[in-house]
Amino acid sequence: MTTSSPFALHQGVLHAEQVSLAKLARQHGTPLYVYSRHALRQAWQSFQDGAAGRDVLVCYGMKANSNLAVLNEFRQLGAGFDIVSGGELARALAVGADPARIVFSGVGKQVWEMQAALEAGVKCFNVESEDELRRLDEVAQGMGRQAPVSLRVNPDVDAHTHPYISTGLKENKFGVAIEDALRIYQHAATMDGIRIVGVDCHIGSQITEAAPYMDALGKLIDLIKALADHGIVLHHLDLGGGLGIRYTDETPLAPRILLDQVFQTLEKHALANLQLILEPGRSLTGNAGVLLTTVQYLKHSDARNFAIVDAAMNDLLRPTLYEAWHNVQPVQPRPMQDDTPRYDVVGPVCESGDWLARDRQLALEQGDLLAIMSAGAYGFTMSSHYNSRPRAAEVMVDGDRAHVVRPRENIQALFASEAMLPD
């Protein structure tokens, strides 16, 4: 088996590290998420190599994949965490995360979430509006504390990515306009419950070039200098996450290439003393997972051929939501011919938008097992019970061993917490 990928063919069968995916499907059923521990470690190491001894805090953007096994792996490797909800805070703390290495992002933080984060002692709140700043000040004062704050500014930079995952343009809901940032920072400096510690931006996701980051950095440097002129000194600069992965023919941007350019620019402006925070999610987990699914029926027509599988949009929403492309690999591939049919790979959910892949040439038979590749990020975390379908199991492979890190839900679990009205 080759070592270039954690998912490779061995004796005609696709494996995760040293474990046959066909064997895992027989043992645990499908749909089934399978992750590679080695792939998680490889992805993390790319950021460590890129940091090269510089003051960089990598906070895993856990919305990409929040399974406790994944979180604990990154905690052991030395990661901080980027959270966007009180639930994510609870998950991070459940695996023993250091609160001083947690940044709290998100546009709609509620009072109870602020209170929980202040009680835990998180490193920073990435504040995204003036209303949020005022509320955080009130909550912190009510608890007799000061909230460490980094204002998330919107630099109006086009990340050249899908509009649903672009977050740095004026029309996006995230952050405050960069031209308003100085005024808001000055207001924050007068608040008893606020302690200014940094500046933050996040311009989008699945970014494969350095230019958008550097455009944003240039605007942030201008802001940092203006703040210093007004007596507001920052301790860290948060450039967010968003580094892309290879789904099809993309050339991902290596962390080292980005970090070298960032620090060269900071040194040029005498700002290399700032701690740099990154919030990668997809780039740490995306290629570390696959979704296994079984072909239930093959349906042929003059207009289109369908491979109807047991996974659906409730298991992997990205294709329906973003028209995202995922490679589809048969776990035990057959030889392909010129006249091998092309299929839309679709699920059983009652929506025309329920598809996982379109127009793929596949040599298939009923009962075949398929692997939907690059499904380790925004896969299970975006899954649902739509059509009253239990969510898939999750398995972590470590060398020649496989561990169930979340069992398959049963039907009864779908409505165990519901109640009927009395007769």
How many helices and strands (H and E) does the chain possess?
12, 21
Instruction: Give the integer Cα–Cα distance in Å for 299 and 304.
Output: 9
DSSP-derived secondary structure for 129-185: SHHHHHHHHHHHHHTT--EEEEEEEE------S-GGGB-SSTTSSSSEEHHHHHHHH
Has 351 been labeled as part of a binding site? yes
Determine which one of 59, 124, 201, 350 is catalytic. 350
Has 106 been labeled as part of a binding site? no
Has 279 been labeled as part of a binding site? yes
Has 246 been labeled as part of a binding site? no
- Among residues 86, 22, 62, the alpha carbon closest in space to that of 402 is found at 22
Has 282 been labeled as part of a binding site? yes
Running DSSP on this structure, what letter comes out for residue 193?
T
* Residue 59 is a catalytic residue: no
- Among residues 123, 134, 125, 224, the alpha carbon closest in space to that of 181 is found at 224
Has 318 been labeled as part of a binding site? yes
* Contacts of residue 394, Cβ cutoff 8 Å, sequence gap at least 6: 32, 33, 34, 35, 67, 69, 380, 404, 405, 406
Instruction: Give the integer Cα–Cα distance in Å for 364 and 362.
Output: 6
Has 134 been labeled as part of a binding site? no
Instruction: Give the integer Cα–Cα distance in Å for 378 and 269.
Output: 37
Q: Which residues are catalytic?
A: 350
Annotated binding residues, written as ranges, equal 242, 279-282, 318, 322, 351, 378
Annotated binding residues for substrate, written as ranges, equal 282, 318, 322, 351, 378
